[in-house]
Structure 1
Amino acid sequence: MRISQSDEGGSRQTDAPAGRKSRVRAFMALCVLIAIVGGLIVWQPEDLALWIKALHIVAVISWMAGLLYMPRLFIYHTDAEPGSPTSETFKVMEQRLLTVIMRPAMMITWALGLYLAWSVYGFQGGWLHTKILAVILLTGVHLHYADAVRRFSQDGTRRTARYWRLMNEVPTVLMIVIVILVVVKPF
């Protein structure tokens, strides 16, 4: 895999200004989401749970996108020589994916999901308990990826590309289980 870099004075996506812009955009998006949720809670529409559910689904999609993309970055990063320009680019990509997309999306997913579990279902139902367990496992995968980002950033020990290919399947399996539990509510 080749990472193109502009040496003609153009702004690179790995530069500090680009990182600041990404963080500002992510912060603004988070503020907008918080304002929407706050406005909905104040407004108290009859279908508040549906609004919260829609925002929960958006957060889940964002979190899952990161959980499915991160192992792909790890696969390519594993093949890059530690300290090389390519490795340094992957470090920036992994860190931004984790902090700008995945972590906020996970926190929003949890907050809105727990609100729905309490307000709509009263934390009742075997399917809901199983779903929460699956989301806890998904959070464990997220934390494992965060640890890998830290290890890669320190040029520490690396797992094999084969390992990351297998780890790429774990969020997919958990997502399938969660969707079936939510839609079918088998028990």
Structure 2
Amino acid sequence: MLYLWIKAFHIVFIAAWFAGLFYLPRILVNLAEVPPDSVAERARLIGMAQRLLRFATVLAIPALGLGAWLWLGIGIGKGPGNGWLHAKLALVLLVIGYHHGCGVLLRKFVQGLPTHSPRWYRCFNEVSVLLFAAIVVLVVVKPF
């Protein structure tokens, strides 16, 4: 029974964390499109992005902790035929890197440093969706 509670809350925190990772890069797209003379709009978007990054970071901690508990404490993925878990863990590391990358890009906006084009940010925005989809497929289908 404990396993089901841990799994349920892991899913809830993962969904909430990814909600932040889906929206934060979209704010970065908007920031890249703000005209240089629009100080108020830029400040508003930066404030929104900073709050969302903090919120997503807070959600990531229990998501990762509960996942580690499922893996190391309960034993999910142990034994033969669990290559899907290794692939999932590799993708989770990429998600953590993506999350960190969002923070780095946001700090560049805050510092007024040169940034990428709005088109680049639109492509960057899709990475979280691809990572999420790949992780869900690995967990549900367990292809290897």
> How does the TM-score come out when normalised to structure 1?
0.71
Give the aligned partner of residue 86 of structure 2: 129
- 1:56 correspondence with 2:10: yes
Letter in 1 for 2:91: A
Give the corresponding residue for 1:98.
53
Asked whether the equivalents of residues 52 and 116 of structure 1 are also in contact (C-alpha less than 8 Å), the reply is yes
Identify which of 96, 99, 111 aligns with 1:139: 96
Q: Which runs of 4+ in 1 moved over 6 A?
A: none
Residue 73 of structure 1: aligned partner: 27
Distance 1:50 1:71 in 2: 32
What whole-Å deviation, never above 9, does each CA across 1:26-70 have from its counterpart, x for those lacking one?
xxxxxxxxxxxxxxxxxxxxx101101111111111111111101
Please report the RMSD computed on the Cα atoms of aligned residues, expressed in angstroms.
1.4
Question: Bigger relative contact order, structure 1 or 2, given CA contacts below 8 A and separation 6+?
Answer: 2
Check the 8 A contact 1:83/1:155 in 2, yes or no. Answer: no
What is the identity percentage for the equivalent residue pairs of Structure 1 and Structure 2?
A: 37
Q: Deviations over 1:90-129 (max 9, x none)?
A: 1110100001x21011111110001101213265421111
SS at match of 1:159: coil
Structure 1 or 2, whichever has the larger Rg, is 1
Q: How many residues align?
A: 140
Q: Which amino acid aligns with 1:63?
A: W
Cα pair 2:77 2:85 within 8 Å, conserved: no
Unaligned regions of 5+ residues in structure 2, if any?
none
